[in-house]
Amino acid sequence: MKEEIIKISLAGFLKYGIRRMTIQKLVSPLGISSKTVYKYFNNKEELLRQCLTLHYNRLFDDALTVFDKEPNAVLALDNAWKQALENDFGINKVFYHDLNYYYPALQDKIIKKHGNKISGAFKRLINQGVRDGYFRKDLNPRVILEAMTVLYSSLTRTEQFKKFGLSPADLAKHTVRVYLQGICTGKGLKQFNISG
């Protein structure tokens, strides 16, 4: 029952946002009372924490799937960032507004705790790209990952780029893709020409 509550609640949060959703509204599709929910969770924030854990694990697993499908490090990174932006922008903006405004520390804590598997995969991919001659050898993979993370956060957690009215794909083209091209060797840049 606990897992069902988390799944249904996450779907409600993603669709309608966090702030306006009560426990009762979240679990009404299950036909259970809020009293039942409180047997598993002390409060709405604890339920949200569990929902965010599920949400970010899904997003991280999606990125890992992209990495596994694409043996080319340049294309794997490019595709993973595009997919991540599409995932983030495909969700009701009220969800991320509420999350970033009311629960930024909780979001950071979840990402930090559960993001290790994805950051390790990113570092391995960057190192692979260096070995394969796609990425410049003089760059530090940890710094590259941190810079990409900061850039991604500015795209998804701030209003900085909204004024341009660009789609997620165009935002990626003008930001993350430009950064990726900057870490590439000539051989790596040719991969961008192949992928468009």
Is 158 part of a structural domain of the chain? yes
- Report residue 30's pLDDT band, with 50, 70 and 90 as the boundaries: confident
Is 39 part of a structural domain of the chain? no
- Report residue 78's pLDDT band, with 50, 70 and 90 as the boundaries: confident
What DSSP string describes 136-151? Answer: -TTS-HHHHHHHHHHH
Residue 51 predicted with pLDDT over 90: yes
* CB-based contacts of 61, cutoff 8 Å, min separation 6: none
Whole-number average pLDDT of the chain: 88
Is 140 part of a structural domain of the chain? yes
Q: How many residues does the chain have?
A: 196
What is the average pLDDT across 170-192?
Answer: 89
Identify the pLDDT of residue 113. Answer: 85
Is 118 part of a structural domain of the chain? yes
Is 10 part of a structural domain of the chain? no
Is 151 part of a structural domain of the chain? yes
Q: Name the domain count of the chain.
A: 1
pLDDT digits (tens, 9 = 90+) for 17-29: 999 998 988 888 8
What is the average pLDDT across 87-114?
Answer: 87
Round the CA-based radius of gyration of the chain to a whole number and report it: 19
Of the chain, the end-to-end C-alpha distance in Å amounts to: 46
Q: What percent of the chain stands above pLDDT 90?
A: 45
Residue 186 predicted with pLDDT over 70: yes
pTM of the shown model: 0.82
What is the average pLDDT across 141-145?
Answer: 89
Is 137 part of a structural domain of the chain? yes
Of the candidates 81, 71, 178, 10, the residue with the CA atom closest to the CA atom of residue 89: 81
Q: Tell me, what DSSP letter sits at residue 43? A: S
Residue 194 predicted with pLDDT over 70: no
Is 15 part of a structural domain of the chain? no
Residue 100 predicted with pLDDT over 70: yes
Crossing angle for the helix pair 73-89 and 44-69, to the nearest 10 degrees: 150
Interatomic CA distance for residues 70 and 90, integer angstroms: 23
| 127: containing domain | 53-195
Count other Cβ atoms within 10 Å, centred on residue 104. 11
- CATH code assigned at 173: 1.10.357
Residue 91 predicted with pLDDT over 90: no
CA dihedral of residues 121, 126, 130, 132 (deg, nearest 10) = 60
Identify the pLDDT of residue 196. Answer: 55
